[in-house]
Amino acid sequence: MKKMSISMQIRTIFIGLTLVILVATSSLISIITYNKNKELVMKQLSEITDLSYYLIDSTVNESIINYLRASTDSYKEYGEYLYTQYLNEEISLSELEELFFEFLSSQVIGETGYAYIIDSNGVIVYHPFLDKGTDISEYDFIQTQIEGKIGFISYEWQNVGEDEIKNKVLYMNYIEELDYIITTSSYEDEFIYLVNLYDLKQDIDNIVIGEKGYTYLMSSDGTLLIHPTQEGENIRDLQDENGVYFVREILSNKSGSIIYPFSNLGEESPKDKIVIYRYYDKLDVYICSGVNISEINSPVIQILKSLIVMFLIVLIIVFIVSSRISKLILYPIKKLVEAMKRINTGNFDSQIEYNKNDEMGELIDIFNQNISAVNKYMGDLKNLNLELENKVAIRTNELENLSNQDALTKLFNRRKLNLFVEELWNECLLTKQNITFIMMDIDNFKAYNDNYGHLAGDEVLIKVSEILKRVFKRDDDFISRFGGEEFLVVIKNSTKAISEKLLKSFYKELDAENIIHEFSKTAANITVSSGLFIGIPTEKGNSIDFINQADDLLYEAKKNGKNQVYSNVETKVI
């Protein structure tokens, strides 16, 4: 046997050790990278599935609450309108109840839902199936209604003769003057028709998972409700390459993950696919997110190729200049290790700056591309969540505006007035600034309604409201319909002179409008009496006292001839 030179032996040993190190290191890095990459993809799939679940659940809950709230608020407004007629002696209390109960009985809520009224003691005032006067305060949800009076409640319920307990929802609002807790109630599953899954299609289709991964929705019978390519198809009996009915397994387990080999259209060979799924019982749908496992392996293969190239380069350069090797190779490797450490701590913003166009640069480019992809996935999830929050905020704001507005005059209603005055009182209590309350009432308005009709009366209310808007248009002016033909103007930190000037402008515009009132005992046209009260809030006082003071001054103006203003800062009529 030919002898091998020492130099060759050294080279052989060195090359052998290098190859062993290469294989061991490559295997270790591939295992670590694969596990980390798989963990990251699994986490992303779980987060996307959960986000889709919460997106659908939030849409369902908001739809139900908004529907019930809108119905109940409209019932309350009608009840308050009838109560105003009662206060104006246009109808009796029994007529109020008859009209209101008849109205409620005509309302349709879902399939079996209805509206009912209880008082603060849990006694039925109106119910389509139970007798008036029945005490139902023994039920927990009734106790919750008595305590809250306004808001949304969800509870379990089982009627006599029914086999299962079902989830029921209600929304309630309160008319304090009548002690009416007005309630709209029905089974939760009867409102599912309010939700159109296809409204979510764009959001779900926009979810990006790797190169070919996606999220889809499937019904409990295996029909694809939302899917990039197979929407509307039933895949319940679909088998994978091993003959396993993997869809049936998903439908059976409700929630979990599954790996199965499958060939999509256009693919030459089957690929293992991983799917994480979660069942949403309210809509009876499965939320599934899937990706090919090959997409998990792809970064590992790329890294392995780069590592092989890197080690071969190291092996060659070591024989030439080891010092140069250290400078050229060890520095970027150190940066790569540091970046991997930051990733292990959860910091995915770990781009590596390396401007040389060599094999190490290719490796780092691949690393940076993978990190950028991860950051993009995280950013997409964050943007999707922000978009959902914005939609909810916009819908909530729209409903809030409707609940704060008087339907006829478009002025603020009593609900908004109470909130505004409470905030303004607390602010002026700290700043020692005054608050002006102007209580205004249309003179002889009942006679106008009786002779010209309520529609004409509504037009008068609208015209007076428009004049108020034109006159009291500053940032610190707040106008509300107090009730019936009464209006309340609230002004922050005003003076008697400014308030009188604004009132004179109002009366001037009202006279110019010349709304004919042949049945008025005060003038030939519509007139208004006002009570002007200016005061500074104190710890012992409250806003109701100030409003009552303005109301008392209005009463004096009415009693002493109408069509005038009485003020607390000057006894003489303005």
Active site residue: 387, 485, 509, 539, which one? 485
DSSP code string of 207-255: --BTTTBEEEEEETTSBEEE-TTTTT-B-TT---TTS--HHHHHHHHSS
CA atoms within 13 A on the CB side of 121: 7
Residue 320 pLDDT grade (very low, low, confident, very high; cuts 50, 70, 90) = confident
- Residue 573 has a pLDDT of 38
What's the rounded mean pLDDT across residues 52-62? 81
Handedness of CA 357, 361, 363, 364 (dihedral sign): negative
What is the pTM for the complete model shown? Answer: 0.43
Asked if residue 138 has pLDDT above 90, the reply is yes
% residues pLDDT > 70 (the chain):
88
Q: How confident is residue 72, by pLDDT bands cut at 50, 70 and 90?
A: very high
Return the percentage of the chain with pLDDT > 90, whole number. Answer: 51
- 400 pLDDT higher than 80: no
275: confidence class by pLDDT, cuts 50, 70, 90: very high
Containing H/E element for 175? strand 166-175
Question: To 5 degrees, how large is the angle CA 196–CA 42–CA 60?
Answer: 20
Q: Which numeric CATH code is attached to 414-567?
A: 3.30.70.270
Query: What's the start-to-end Cα distance of the chain, in Å?
Result: 129
* Nearest-angstrom CA–CA distance, 45 and 275: 8
pLDDT at 56: 81
pLDDT in tens, 1-53: 665 666 677 667 767 777 787 677 767 776 777 677 777 777 878 888 888 88
| 529-549 average pLDDT score | 95
**pLDDT tens, residue by residue, 437-464:** 999 999 999 999 999 999 999 999 999 9
Please state, rounded to an integer, the average pLDDT across all residues of the chain.
86
pLDDT at 316: 83
Work out the pLDDT band at 518, boundaries 50, 70, 90. very high
d(CA 391, CA 50): 19
320-336: burial string, b at 16+ Cβ within 10 Å, e else: eeeeebeebbeebeebb
pLDDT of residue 181: 97
Q: Dihedral (C-alpha) 92, 94, 95, 99: value to the nearest 10 degrees?
A: 140
CB 563 within 8 A of CB 522: yes
Domain chopping of the chain, boundaries: 297-399, 414-567
Query: What is the Cα–Cα distance from 60 to 392, expressed in whole angstroms?
Result: 12
Q: Is the pLDDT of residue 572 over 60?
A: no
Which segment of 78-92, 199-213, 419-433 scores lowest on mean pLDDT?
A: 199-213
pLDDT band at 180; cut points 50, 70, 90: very high
Which tokens is 177 given?
């003057």
Per-residue confidence at 574, pLDDT binned at 50, 70, 90? very low
Residue 244 pLDDT exceeds 60 = yes
Q: Is 485 among the catalytic positions? A: yes
Q: For position 530, what pLDDT does the model report? A: 97
